[in-house]
Amino acid sequence: MDQGISLGRTVEASRSLAVLLPIMGVVFAAFLVIGCAMPVLPLHVHDRLGLGTFVVGLVAGGQFAAALISRPWAGHYADSRGTKPTVVAGLLAAAVSGLFYLLSLRLAGLPALSATILLLGRLLLGGAESFVITGAVSWGLAIAGPQDTGRVIAWIGAAMFAAFALGAPVGAAFYSAYGFGTIALATTLAPLATLLLVAPLAPVVPLPQARAGFMRVLGSVWLPGLGSALSTVGFGAITAFVTLLFASRGWRDGWLPYTTFAAVFILARLAFGHLPDRMGGARVALVCVPIEAAGQALIWLAPSPALALLGAGLTGFGYSLVYPGFGVEAVLRVPAESRGLAMGAYTVFLDIALGAGSPILGLVAGGAGLPAVFLAGALAALCSMPIALWFTRPRERAR
């Protein structure tokens, strides 16, 4: 009996993967350039432009702040116009953001102006990222169905982080050899090439029912969104500051902890992405949050790069299922015709954590030192545990 159930789940997982694979390919290609920029952007702003850690956090977090503002628009657009046009619009906007990157390089002799134009490019890229990921997840949910909500969120997210994992060493290598110009050029051209992957995919017709307003949907998903936001602070700490931590301590290969984080994150999602659907999203989050916090604490205390890498891996493993875990709780609380808007509203909280959290972490780094950033990430993650506990109450499970 157990073997039959296991075989059935394996077949089901294979079918889901086959359905989602083209969309995952689009997400991977679209986010590859973001992954290339993540480990080198702090170095470019801090070392090449000579600006401080607060500006580093501001430029790194600007993308997420813009994504925050654009989430409701992206969700409405996906629910009303369709998921494929939403992804296409995001790719076109991403290409334009690369032009801002190129212009900022032309003005590198004026650091403040160059950083301002770079920030504008990051803001536009944030809106583009919002449209691409909201459209892609809504596309996957429409194809796979509500019974696979956690798996869709986990696997499409895995494609995004696979792009980050591959992009980090590639971006670091190109930055070391050719400078930030190659990153800017790739940001311009890669989204246009990704349109070739989108073109043959069949669109999903939007459901014709009346849709809830954004504030109503937000009221349904704010609590799981808050849990997700608190657990995301540690992710923001790694993306914005782990390369600077390695550089400040004279450790080589500052891109490696981020790639370690992303690689473990991907493997955990592919292996265990079905668990939020099977066991309940909140229960999975309740187990994974302490693992993430332990990883952040290990980076904070690490006396060697090996232990810092172990901390990055633990953070990746823990965080990998926290986001889809709370995401399952969010999607279950809205009607099917508003899934795109629900994902937009839910992801707003991730954007708040990264858009506001990165500059705040920059202030923490400036006042208490770079290691303190990861202590803050650990404490924030632990604060999401009471929210996960709330959703495991029998009354909430019945709802």
Q: Residue 270 phi/psi, 5° resolution?
A: -70, -35
Confirm whether 281 is domain-assigned.
Answer: yes
Structural domain contains residue 20: yes
Q: What is the mean pLDDT of the segment spanning 87-110? A: 92
Residue 376, domain member (yes or no): yes
Helix (H) or strand (E) holding 335: none
Domain count, the chain: 1
User: 42-82: per-residue pLDDT in tens?
Assistant: 888 888 888 887 888 788 777 777 877 887 788 778 878 88
Res 356: pLDDT: 76
Other Cβ atoms less than 10 A from the Cβ of 80: the count is 14
Domain assignment of residue 3, yes or no: no
- pLDDT of 185: 92
| pLDDT at residue 357, rounded to an integer | 79
Buried b / exposed e over 190-216, threshold 16 CB at 10 Å, is bbeebbebbeeeeebebbeeebbebee
Per residue in 262-282, pLDDT (tens digit) is 889 888 888 887 788 788 888
Range of the domain at 234: 11-201+212-398
In the predicted model, is pLDDT for residue 102 greater than 90?
Answer: yes
1: in domain: no
Considering the entire predicted model, what is its pTM? Answer: 0.69
Least confident window among 76-90, 286-300, 302-316: 76-90
Q: How far apart are CA 245 and CA 168, in angstroms?
A: 16
pLDDT of 111 over the 60 cut = yes
Specify the CATH number for the domain of residue 98.
1.20.1250.20
Which tens digits make up the pLDDT trace of 199-211? Answer: 888 777 665 554 5
Note the pLDDT of residue 6.
45
142: pLDDT strictly greater than 60:
yes
Residue 220 pLDDT more than 50? yes
Q: Does some domain include residue 6?
A: no
Can you say how many angstroms the Cα of residue 97 is from the centroid of all Cα atoms in its chain?
Answer: 18
Q: Is residue 154 part of a domain?
A: yes
Q: Distance (Å, rounded) from C-alpha 324 to C-alpha 268?
A: 12
Residues 6+ apart with CB under 8 A from 216: none
Q: Which two tokens stand for residue 256?
A: 């490696």
Share of the chain above pLDDT 70, in %: 88
Please check the confidence at residue 145 and state whether its pLDDT lies above 70. no
